Structure 1
Amino acid sequence: MANDSEADGAAGTAGHVVVVIGAGRSGTSTLTRGIQALGIELGNNLKPGTSKNPKGFFEDEELLALNKRLHHAFGLRGTGASLRLIEEDEWQAVFLNEHMQAVTAAIQKRFGAFPLWGFKSGGVMRLLPFWEQVFEQLGLKVSYVVAARHPLAVARSRAKLNALRGVQEKSDLEWLVRVVPYFHLMRRHPFSVVDYDRLMAEPQIQLRRVAGALNLPLTSDVEREINAFGEQFINPSLQHHRGDANEGAERLNPLARDAYRWLHALACDEIAPENPELWRDWARIRSELYAMRHALRHIDFLEDEVERRQTQGWRRLFAPRSNRISQADSD
C-alpha cells in the first residue's frame, strides 16, 4: 500500500496510470477495487464507504477534492447533476493553469514512487481533456477502464438516492453528458470496457480481460488477488438493478440507447476497439448530443432557479419562527 513518506520522496512520476471512468451508478467503485487485485496501487487515503457505497468508493480523497474543485470552476455541480456541455475554447481558460499545478503536485506527492498506479474520481470522464493534459505533462503511460451499465439500471439505482435525478429522462441526459463527449479520446490509449452485470456475475473472468487489454502480467500473486476479489469482495446481493442491451428501448433516450449498445458490444468482445464503424457512429452520437447543448444549458438554469426558489421558500417559512424564538429569548 501507499506510504506518504515514500511518495513524498519520489523524484518523478514517470509510470503507468490506470484510470477508471464511467457514468455514475455504473459500478466504478467495485471496478476500481477490482483493478487493485491486478497490482495497481490506489494509495492509502481512500474515501470510506457510506450507505451509498457500503464497501467503499476507492477514490483518493485529495484527487477527489481537486476534481470537484475543477467542476465548480467550470460552473458544474460536484454531484454530477449538471448537464451543460463544456465548449472547446473553455479548455484554454487561464484558470486551468492553477488547477494543473495543484493536480500535478498532488499526483507527484501521492503516487510518484509507484510504477503502476490508478485512481477513479467521480466526473473525471466529464473533464477528460484536462486530465489528459495532466498525464501528458507528467509523462505518464495512460490506460483506461470504462465501467458500462444499462441506462435503465442506472436510472433505477439513481432513483433510490434521488427521485428527481432518477427520472429516466434526466438520468439519460446525465449519462450522455458524462459518457459521450470524450469517449473518443480512448482511441489514443489501451482501454477496456467492463459491463457491470458481467463483473458481478464473473469477476475473475472480467479482471483477466482487463489485464489482457492493458497488457498487465497475471502473476501467481495477481491470480490469488483476483480470486480473493471474486470470492470475498463481490456480493451479488448489492446488485439490485439489472439491464439488457435491448431492454426497454422505447423508454430510453435514443442517443443513450445507441451509445450503450456500442459499449455493450465492446464489453462482450463482439467488436474490437479499433472498429471503424464504432468511431464513425460515435461521432454521429456526439454531434447530435452537441446539437442539444443550448437546451442542456437551459435545463441547468431552470434546475438552479427551482433550487434557489425552494431555498428562499424554506428561509421564509422558518424566518418568522426564528424571530419568535429570538424575541422569546430576549424576554
Structure 2
Amino acid sequence: MQQTSEPTGGHLVLVTGAGRSGTSTVAGALHHLGLHVPLPVLKTNESNPRGFFESTWPLWFHRRIMDAADIEQVDGRPGARELMHAAADQAVQDELVDWLRGVTADASQIVVKDPRASWVPHLWVNAAAELSLSIGFVTMLRHPAEVLGSRSTYYGRNRKGQAEERSFAVLNLAGWVNQTINTEQLTRGQARTWIRYDDLLEDWRGQMRAVRQATGVDLNHSLEPGVRHAVDDFIDPGLRRHEGSFADLDLPGSLTEIAEELWAAGNLLADRSGSDPEAEQRFDAAATAYATLFADSAAIAQHEARARVRAESQEAEARLRKRVRKARREGVAQGRAEALAERRGLVRRTASAVRRRLRRGNRS
C-alpha cells in the first residue's frame, strides 16, 4: 500500500530518475511553483540552458558515497546497490540530517533534485523522519532510447569509431536499466508519482496536480487552465530533441527487451498514481531477467577480461624492467664518474703533499 504524505514539520520532495529524463524541468517547475531549491546550484550550460535546479551539496554528498563504494553514476552492476548501502553508514546519515536541518530552518517546502539519490533514497526517508518532514518522490520517466540519444549528444562527444560508440550506448542502457529498477524498488511504499517527460511538456498543470496529490505540497498556483503562470514560459516543448525508438540503434536485443519492459511498467505507474501491483511485479521480473543477463554476460567476458589483465600485467612488468635497466645504467655511469672524481682528487692531494715535502726539504 502506497503511503500518502501528511503535512507535519514541512515537505521534502526528492526528484529522481535517470539523468536526461527531464529531472531538471520538473525541479524547475516546482521551484517556480513556490518550492525552495537549496543554494548553491549547478550553473547552466549547453546541455541545460534553462538551469539544472540541482543543489550542489546533495550532488557532492552522493558522489562521496559513490567514491567510497567505487561505483559510477550510471552503473550497470546489479550489486552496486548493496555497495552503496554498505558505504552509507551512520556518520553519513547524520551528515545528511545536519544539512537538511539547516536548509529547512527557513523554508518549509524543499525540492532536491539529484539522479544519484536513486541509489540511497532510504537515507532521505530516515532524515525526513528524524526532522518530522513529509517526504515524497517524483520520478521522471523518458524512453531509454531518448535518454541514450541525449547522453550521446552531450556526454559522449569524445568517442572514436563505431566500436566505442556502441560500447558507450550499451553501458548507458545497462545503467538506465539498473537505475530504473533501483528507483522503483527502493521507493516502493513511499509517497511517490511517476511522470512521463512528454506529459510534463504537454500538460504541466496536470502533472503538477499529480505531484500535489502524492506529496501534499502547497503550490502558488491554482493549476487551473487559462490562468497563466511563470511555468508556461519556463517549460519549452522544443527542448525535446530526441525521439524514443531503438530501431536505429545497434544494441543487444536481450538488453533492449528488458528496457522496453521497464518502460512499459513505468508507464503503468505514471498512469496509476505511482503505485500498481502489476507494474511492481513486472519490475521485479525485469530485475531478475537483468541480473541473469548481467551474470551471463560477465561469464562470457571472463576470457577477454583475463586476457586484458595478462596484457596489462605484461606491459607493467616490461615498464618495470626498463626502469630497472635504466637505473642500473645510470648507477654504473654514476659510479664510474664518482671513481674518476675520487682518483683525480687523490692525485691532487698526493701532488700537493709531495710539493709540501719538497719545500720543507729545500728549506732544510
Shorter-chain TM-score category?
A: 0.7 to 0.9
CA contact (8 A) 1:100 1:134 kept: yes
Query: How many Å separate the matches in 2 of 1:114 and 1:56?
Result: 21
| In structure 2, C-alpha distance between the alignment counterparts of 1:183 and 1:63, rounded to whole Å | 20
2:18 partner amino acid: A
C-alpha contact 1:22 1:147 (8 A) present in aligned 2: yes
CA positional deviation for 1:83: 2.2
Partner of 1:258: 261
Between 1:284-293 and 1:190-199, the stretch displaced more is 284-293
Range 125-134 or range 168-177, more displaced: 125-134
Of 98, 109, 118, 1:105 maps to 98
State the Cα RMSD in Å: 3.6
Report the Cα offset of residue 28 of structure 1: 0.6
Residue 247 of structure 1: how far off its partner (Å): 10
* Structure-2 residue corresponding to 1:76: 71
Change (3 A) 1:177 1:125: same
Match of 2:346 in 1: none
Superposed CA deviations along residues 73-94 of structure 1, whole A, max 9, x for unmatched, are 11013xx233223467656647
1:96 aligned to 80, 89, 99, which one? 89
1:204 to partner: Cα distance:
2.8
Gaps of 5+ in 1: 1-12, 317-331
Q: Work out which of the two has the higher radius of gyration on C-alpha atoms and give 1 or 2.
A: 2
Q: For residues 116 and 217 of structure 1, do their structure 2 counterparts lie closer, same or farther at Cα, with a shift above 3 Å needed?
A: closer
Matched ranges for 1:223-262 at <5 A: 227-243=228-244, 253-262=256-265
- Indicate conservation of the 8 Å contact 2:32/2:230, yes or no: yes
Match of 1:40 among 35, 44, 55: 35
Shift of 1:222: 6.9
Mean Cα deviation higher: 52-61 or 235-244: 235-244
Letter in 2 for 1:43: P
* Equivalent in the alignment of 1:281: 282
- Tell me: CA distance 1:89–1:153, structure 2 relative to 1, closer, same or farther (3 Å): closer
State the shift of 1:246 in Å.
11
- 1:157 lines up with 2:150 in the alignment: yes
Structure 1 residues 56 and 273: alpha-carbon distance in aligned structure 2, compared to 1, 3 A threshold? closer
In structure 2, the partner of 1:210 is 211
Question: 1:212–1:94: structure 2 CA closer, same or farther, 3 Å change rule?
Answer: closer
How far has the Cα of 1:68 moved from its partner?
Answer: 0.9
Matched, 1:185 2:186: yes
Letter in 2 for 1:235: D
- Which residue pairs with 2:129 in the alignment? 136
Per-residue deviation, 1:173: 0.5
Which of 16, 22, 29 is equivalent to 1:27?
Answer: 22
Structure 1 residues 273 and 238: CA distance shift in structure 2, 3 A: closer
Cα distance change, pair 112–195 in 1 and its aligned pair in 2 (3 A) = same
Per-residue Cα deviation, 1:276-327 (whole angstroms, up to 9, x for no partner): 212222221222233345468788x96xx89xx8xx99xx9xxxxxxxxxxx
Q: 1:218 to 1:102 in 2, by over 3 A?
A: closer
CA contact (8 A) 1:42 1:118 kept: yes
Q: 1:296 to 1:116 in 2, by over 3 A?
A: farther
Pick closer, same or farther for the CA change 1:205–1:250 going to 2, 3 Å.
farther
Q: Quote the Cα distance in structure 1 between the aligned partners of 2:66 and 2:273.
A: 33
Cα deviation, residue 240, structure 1: 0.4
Change in CA separation of 1:39 and 1:102 when aligned onto 2, cut-off 3 Å: same
Q: Is the 8 A contact 1:38 1:222 kept in 2?
A: no
Which of 9, 17, 23 aligns to 2:12? It is 17
Deviations 1:106-159 (A, max 9, x none): 111223332211101131112323333333343331101110000111111111
Cα distance, 1:203–1:182 mapped onto 2, change above 3 Å: closer
TM normalised by structure 1 equals 0.74
Return the alpha-carbon distance in structure 1 between the equivalents of residues 88 and 51 of structure 2.
32
**Kept in 2: contact 1:126–1:179 (CA 8 A):** no
How far apart in 2 are the matches of 1:21 and 1:222? 23
Q: For 2:64, what is the secondary structure of its paired residue?
A: helix
Equivalent residue, structure 1, for 2:110: 117
Question: What fraction of aligned residue pairs are identical, expressed as a percent?
Answer: 22
CA distance in 1, matches of 2:186, 2:257: 22
- Normalising by structure 2, we get a TM-score of 0.68
Structure 2 distance, partners of 1:96, 1:211, is: 32
Give the 3-state SS of the residue equivalent to 2:45 in structure 1. coil
